[in-house]
Chains A and B, each alone.
Chain A
Amino acid sequence: MSETVPSIPPPSRGPHAALTEPRPVRIALILLAVAFLALFLLLPLAVVFVEALSKGVGAYLDTFAEPDAQAAIRLTLLVAVIAVPLNVAFGLCASWAIAKFDFRGRNLLITLIDLPFSVSPVVAGLIYVLLFGAQGLFGPFLHRHGIEIIFAVPGIVLATVFVTFPFVARELIPLMQDQGTTDEEAALTLGASPWRVFRTVTLPNVRWALLYGVLLCNARAMGEFGAVSVVSGRIRGLTTTMPLHVEILYNEYNYVAAFGIASLLALLALVTLAGKSFLEWRHADALAGRGAH
């Protein structure tokens, strides 16, 4: 999990003599790092695409023509479209409250926001089953009113929101704390309404961090397996997201289709990575422009 990007100083160019290891040591270290990266990251990524294309491009593309696959893709997008905005709203509220106000229980709130990182996603899923499942706390009530949550789309959305909710808040809190409240105070003394202050001062000040958080949140929302797996019930074409669909296909020995869908998720990861790098570059730029503020 990346901490605030801004705090990382730019690497200084040109090695300092005192800090430079002998050449062989340097080469050995670099090779080790590259080998590790290749073995654990690049190789699996390559395997995904090789397996997906093992029966040719035609078979690969057929994977996506399948109605169940399309349903899984649609569901994944739907879940992300609901979960990400919810987390943006929540993240903004929470980080605003934590960074700009001093209140009792502030530290508790910070700890709670991190909870989804420390709780196993399976447990997160189980919580919802215990709450909303047929035998759960609210199960009978929900059943009576014909509301389905577990083994249906709402459950998947809830589980995804739970698992992803730290992403936006975690990006914004350190930045907002660092920026303090004087910009907002300045806007208030100039006569701006609280809403205008938020829209024209607070939001622009955190826009890159917010986008960064949204990117990470989205990647996780689309890729989440554990929690969603517990609440989904895996009804093909109805409650399977892309990661679940990959597993189903794999268990059916349909490797081309499984890796085909997996390649889509891998592409998403690559796009996220590219976007993240771009933002880090932009972010650093914006920060340099900030100067001594």
Chain B
Amino acid sequence: MTAGFAPTTLTLRRDAQVRSVEVAAPERLRHAGTSVRVDAIVKRYAGAGPAALEGVSLAIEPGELLALLGPSGSGKTTLLRVIAGLEIPDGGRVFFGSQDTTDLPVQRRGVGFVFQHYALFRHLTVFENIAYGLRSRPRAHRPKEDEIRRRVERLLELVQLPDLAKRYPGQLSGGQRQRVALARALAVEPSVLLLDEPFGALDAQVRKDLRRWLREIHRETGQTTIFVTHDQDEALELADRIAILNKGRIEQVGAAHEVQDHPASRFVMSFVGETARLAAEVSDGQVRVAGRPVIAAEPGWPQGAVDLCLRPWDLTVGQGPGTLPGTVREWRRTGRGTVAEILLDGAEAPVEVKVTEVYEPGDRVALAVGAARVFARG
């Protein structure tokens, strides 16, 4: 695979053999897919306030599609920019494969970065935007004009915009700009592809299409890809694994089903889906709310004062022991049936529960609990 860094081949096929071999080109790293590891990254911004990243460690497999998920201010974009080399960390190291890239300038890291608002060069055509990276190479490594043309055309086909080469960014729709931005990033054959809120500025339908399309591109190119999002659906649908960040720390890393079914913290639980939270107590193998047992405690659950976290879809209207009392706030029809907004006694916010009967606001109901999670209070 020594031909891997000859600037004439654009590796589009996913190939485990190819990716496992790391070839260092003379002036920069280039892999079809490389592993990325960040180790105890600390980043503070000038001025007061807590650190943006407080010792974040994370390993990304070659060819993996990883989502950095978190609310705004959680440090996810900062982490992405540290990996890219756009921010210099105050502590910790960044590795691409086995090479320490912490001190490598951004130009020589071989990353493809797609910015939230695309950052296309507005005075250049789509063609020239995509060719920019190739034309930026030192003369000795710069492809010839017809080679550049061939590669840009191929990328335009990959992003399904073959007819727009002569347009200017201002003449494109948001979704088209997004595709051009991706093609531009892919043109330099990056070892790692980084996307900052790639669909953040697009409307719902375009988002959906582009998500599916990005998955396909990833399958085709096999590039190690990290994307930042605050949308849990996007992360769950798209990513092989999800790293959930909160206040500059990683709360959990895992596949979609892991973070959904086995959230490591109350924060993860409430961030990856709608959650009702009640103060409860675990004793004698029972989770008790206001002294009454609700559900059996599983082994390994904390004892004493806990937060009982419930998913709305685990709640059904029922009767008898173990049900939780609540008050109907609102009842309405939706496309998928009828739902009631119910405020459980002792809860801070109401939850939407699927119901079969008609309710009036103010009706008292009891909800049976199918499944629950508890987290120690604090």
Contacts and interface: CB of A to CB of B under 8 A. Distances in A.
B136 A187 contact: yes
Interface in A151-192: 182-183, 185-192
A191 B119 contact: no
Contacts of B269: none
Given A186-B120, A190-B185, A205-B122, 8 more contacts: A102-B46, A182-B119, A186-B115, A187-B121, A189-B107, A190-B132, A191-B133, A204-B121
A182 B117 contact: yes
B5 interface: no
A33 B188 CA distance: 59
A189 B185 CA distance: 8
Nearest to B108: A191
Interface residues of A, number: 24
B122 A185 contact: no
A189 B133 CA distance: 8
Counting contact residues on chain B (CB < 8 A from A), the size range is 20 to 34
A193 B84 CA distance: 16
A183 B188 CA distance: 17
B136 A189 contact: no
Interface centre among B122, B184, B188 (most CB of A within 10 A): B122
B333 interface: no
B106 A188 contact: yes
A63 B121 CA distance: 51
B83 to A, nearest CB: 11
A293 B169 contact: yes
Given A205-B123, A290-B122, A293-B117, A189 B170 contact: no
A183 B106 CA distance: 14
B77 to A, nearest CB: 12
A22 interface: no
A288 B168 CA distance: 12
B55 interface: no
A292 interface: yes
Contact of A189 (B111, B117, B122, B123): B111
A95 B187 CA distance: 32
B117 A191 contact: no
Contacts of B188: 190-191
B302 interface: no
B248 interface: no
20 contacts: A182-B115, A187-B121, A188-B106, A188-B107, A189-B84, A189-B85, A189-B86, A189-B109, A189-B185, A190-B185, A190-B187, A191-B136, A200-B121, A205-B122, A289-B122, A289-B170, A290-B122, A290-B170, A292-B201, A293-B122
B132 A187 contact: yes
B171 interface: yes
Given A185-B113, A291-B170, A293-B170, A192 B121 contact: no
A201 interface: yes
A190 B133 CA distance: 5
Given A183-B119, A290-B122, A189 B168 contact: no
A55 interface: no
Contacts of B170: 288-291, 293
A196 B133 CA distance: 11
Contacts of A193: 107, 136
Contacts of B174: 292
A75 B121 CA distance: 41
Nearest to A293: B122
Interface in A263-293: 288-293
A186 B113 contact: yes
Interface in B170-202: 170-171, 174, 184-185, 187-188, 201
Contacts of B169: 291, 293
Contacts of A290: 122, 170
Contacts of B133: 190-192
B136 A190 contact: yes
Contact of B123 (A185, A186, A188, A204): A204
Contacts of B168: 289
Interface in B191-248: 201
Nearest to B190: A189
B292 interface: no
A285 to B, nearest CB: 10
B166 interface: no
B132 A189 contact: no
Contacts of A192: 107, 132-133, 136
Given A189-B84, A190-B132, A183 B121 contact: yes
A201 B122 CA distance: 9
A83 B277 CA distance: 70
Contacts of B150: none
Nearest to A184: B119
Interface in B97-122: 106-109, 111-113, 115, 117-122
Contacts of B137: 191
A289 B119 contact: no
